[in-house]
Amino acid sequence: MNQIVIVSGLSGSGKSVALATLEDCGYYCIDNLPVRLLEPFARDLCENHPFDRTAISIDCRNLGGDDDLFDQALEILSQFQIPYRILFLTADTRTLIQRYSETRRRHPIGDRPLADAIEQERRLLESIAARADLIIDTSRTNIHQLRQEIRQRLGGLDNRRLSLCFTSFGFKHGLPLDADFVFDARCLPNPHWEPRLRPLTGKDDGVADYLEKYPETQRFLDQIETFLRDWLPRFEAQNRSYLTVAIGCTGGQHRSVYLVERLKRAFSGGPYPILTRHRELS
């Protein structure tokens, strides 16, 4: 069956890395396909079946400022009954400016100051971001971590199942932009204030033993698990491909990491592919 991943996002956020990774995973990749050429390409896919899996990169230059073009492109894929997923890569403006300063590349919107160009591109791509099945914030992600996440989430593309990703993070470093649900674990006892536990993480037995002394920890976990088990089938029924559940504590080292590891254990072996990510431990 023909399957298409549409890769889009802000310049400097990692689109080239994502496309190269998908190519390594066996996708036929097209960089910056003009949207108006999508119809003949889709027709060829249906009539000749040259590729089983295709990834197409689309950026603001493909759209020419016309939001309707992207809607028309998706309608074309629907008419040809070609399943697709949309991957959108983003990063905060400060990170993008730093990346451009390091590479000395010119921004695609090059007729204005860099910060203004980034914000203009963000506005131009709003329609794609709003329709994305998967959003990955690469602000605190290096190339190797991005490649790993792309391989995990899209390398073995399976349209039949919703993938569930548990992410730990620290509130002091900002919210993850790709989270569908955010749970705040700062209400739980903090192992950071125990000197012997401070250098450890939520993956260590000492931190787990500390948190499990408190009944509110288990109650917090039980309520998240109950919520997800009740609602995951409803999200899957709406053809959602991904659901990202973020658990945050102050620094992203102890409580949130422990909770993510426990949730991974609770949902492993079930009907949904499980991924985990510890943002601050990276």
Kindly state whether residues 227 and 146 are assigned to the same domain: no
Helix 114-124 to helix 93-103 angle, to the nearest 10 degrees?
A: 120
How far from chain centre, in Å, is Cα 37? 27
The answer to whether 206 and 128 are in contact (CB under 8 A) is: no
Are both 120 and 141 inside the same structural domain?
A: yes
Pairing of strands 181-184, 3-9: unpaired
46 is annotated as contributing to ligand binding: no
Range of the domain at 264: 164-278
Q: 251 and 119 share a domain?
A: no
User: Which pLDDT value is given to residue 183?
Assistant: 98
User: Which secondary structure element, helix H or strand E, spans residue 164, and what is its range?
Assistant: strand 163-170
Same domain, 147 and 173: no
- 206 annotated ligand-binding residue: no
Number of domains in the chain: 2
Residue with tokens 């919520």: 227
Report whether 16 belongs to an annotated binding site.
yes
Considering the domain architecture, whether residues 130 and 191 belong to the same structural domain is answered as no
Q: Please report which residue ranges of 64-134 form alpha helices under DSSP H.
A: 67-79, 93-103, 114-124, 126-131
User: Are residues 154 and 185 located together in one domain of the fold?
Assistant: no
Residues 175 and 151 in one domain: no
Closest by Cα among 71, 53, 70, 59 to 31: 59
**Whether residue 133 is found in the same domain as residue 181:** no
Residue 203, marked binder? no
The verdict on whether residue 211 carries a ligand-binding annotation is no
Would you say 57 is a known binding-site residue? no
What is the predicted pLDDT for the residue at 61? 75
The answer to whether 232 is annotated as binding is no
62 is in an annotated binding site: yes
248 is in an annotated binding site: no
What is the domain-level CATH number for residue 95? 3.40.50.300
Q: Is 60 annotated as a binding residue?
A: yes
pLDDT tens digit at each of 282 positions of the chain:
568 899 999 999 999 999 999 998 889 999 888 877 888 888 888 777 777 789 999 887 776 656 677 888 888 888 888 888 899 999 999 999 999 888 778 888 877 888 999 999 998 888 889 889 899 999 988 888 898 889 888 876 554 568 899 999 999 999 988 899 999 999 999 999 999 999 999 999 999 999 999 999 999 999 999 999 999 988 887 767 789 999 999 999 999 999 999 999 999 988 888 989 999 996
CA dist list (Å): 219 to 3, 80, 212: 42, 48, 10
